[in-house]
Amino acid sequence: MGTIEGQVVERGSGAMLFPASGPAITRNTDASGTFRFGPLVPGEYTVSVFFGTANARKDGLPVTAGEVTHLTFRFAFEPEVVRVKEKRPRFTPPEPVVSSIPLRPPYSDEAIMTNLWGVAWLLLNVDAHGTVTDVKVLKGPGHDLEPIAIETAKKFRFHPARDDGGTPIPSQFIYVMEWPSYWSVVAGFVMVPPCKDQSPLNLDSVNIVYRDCEPPPGLAHLRLTQPRPMDYPHFGFGPSRPPRGR
């Protein structure tokens, strides 16, 4: 006597065996999708399997005495996509407590010596009390300024974000921190330099440097632009405002 054994790669399926003569035989698959017919008289058989409304069959399957005929059926289902239209809930982003944000962050010795105009892109986590709980540097200017950026941002305070009902909630957003070139600050006159690769340097300026306006990878839509003078009070410079929270 022989045996037909197979597997349907979907749980909750079943199989039917059609011999050359006589009634069909039905089997439910087990938890792994396996079915088994036997013992069977040698000959040719047809096996039909089903899963929900899907079905498949194989004809002319040979059964040999003392042997197992193995089968595998695989249904390729297209995933069902359900689209739900829903209005995005209102969200009030966090607002900085201005007194907690210094006009200029502290400088590193290397930033002073190189007269760098530094730009750091930070990801801030702010809790429901407006406290900065975590700071990640997405892109930094180097020159030992990244640790300074983290320690400075941890001291920031915010009016927390609020949900649609006005309840304070945690939030996460990107904050741009900048260091104007140190020697222009010492000279008492800071003008925002051109973005790198955008404009020629003003060789008559007290800060002959470029400003790196390129955002971190994947955030091209947040590229910095050349600010207007009123955006940078006190000798033309002030702390960058964070983009709207999310």
CB-based burial of residue 7 (10 Å sphere; 0-12 exposed, 13-18 middle, 19+ buried)? Answer: buried
Enumerate residue ranges in the chain where pLDDT < 70.
Answer: 2, 4-22, 51-54, 75-80, 84, 86-89, 197-208, 225-246
Closest to 2 in 3D by CA, of 39, 37, 32, 33: 39
Cis peptide before 141 (omega within 30 of 0): no
Q: Compute the CA torsion angle 130, 133, 139, 142 (nearest 10 deg).
A: 110
- Token pair 């750091």 is at which residue? 120
Rounded-to-integer distance, Cα 29 and Cα 33, Å: 5
Determine the 3-state secondary structure of 240 from DSSP.
Answer: coil
pLDDT of residue 156: 94
Output the pTM of the full model.
Answer: 0.55
Show Cβ contacts of residue 91 under 8 Å, excluding neighbours closer than 6 positions: 161, 162, 163, 164, 245, 246
CA atoms within 13 A on the CB side of 186: 9
CA-based end-to-end distance of the chain: 69
In the DSSP assignment, the letter for residue 91 is -
CB-based burial of residue 111 (10 Å sphere; 0-12 exposed, 13-18 middle, 19+ buried)? Answer: buried
Which amino acid is it at 46? Answer: T
Query: Are 40 and 64 a contacting pair, CB within 8 Å?
Result: no
pLDDT of residue 233: 36
